[in-house]
Structure 1
Amino acid sequence: MAGIDDIKNAAEKAAGKAKEALGNVTDNDRLKAEGQTDQAKASAKQGATDVKDAAHGVADSFKDDK
């Protein structure tokens, strides 16, 4: 399921970039801040997914040692 999470996180980050860019073009500070927040959330989710994947990799390596 990590692949699906990666796609969702990338889409959320792209939407945040678009929102930030629109905020820049329209001189809307609130929209720009929302876009930056969306990007930060997506990056945090991606970091959590990466940690989860690494933990699964470590667990699998212990299974292989038996």
Structure 2
Amino acid sequence: MRRIGGVVPLIRRSEDPMGDLSNKAQELAGKVKEKAGDLTGNERLTGEGRADRGGAKVKQAAADVRDAMTGVADRVKGALKRDD
């Protein structure tokens, strides 16, 4: 893991950049659908766009939590190894 100023950050970014990219693509597609629905008056398309955006945000939040917990676990393992 990359050190910042000699310190390992507590939260690290996802080790799956394609997952982050996929979430951003889903969020962008949702925005496009939502705007298209707004412009055409199609409420179903607007709702689908909002759902897509929400789903992308939930997946990204879950990935961020997973990364944070992995970072915490790594720090605990490192602390335990130093105590040996």
TM-score (norm 2): 0.74
Bigger helix fraction = 1
Divergent runs of 4+, >6 A: none
Superposed CA RMSD: 0.9
Q: Where does the alignment leave 5 or more consecutive residues of structure 2 unmatched? A: 1-14
* Mapping for residues 1-66 of structure 1, pairs under 5 Å: 1-65=15-79, 66=81
Percent of matched pairs sharing the same residue: 45
Q: Where does the alignment leave 5 or more consecutive residues of structure 1 unmatched? A: none
TM-score (norm 1): 0.93
Count, aligned residues: 66
Deviation at 1:64, TM superposition (A): 1.5
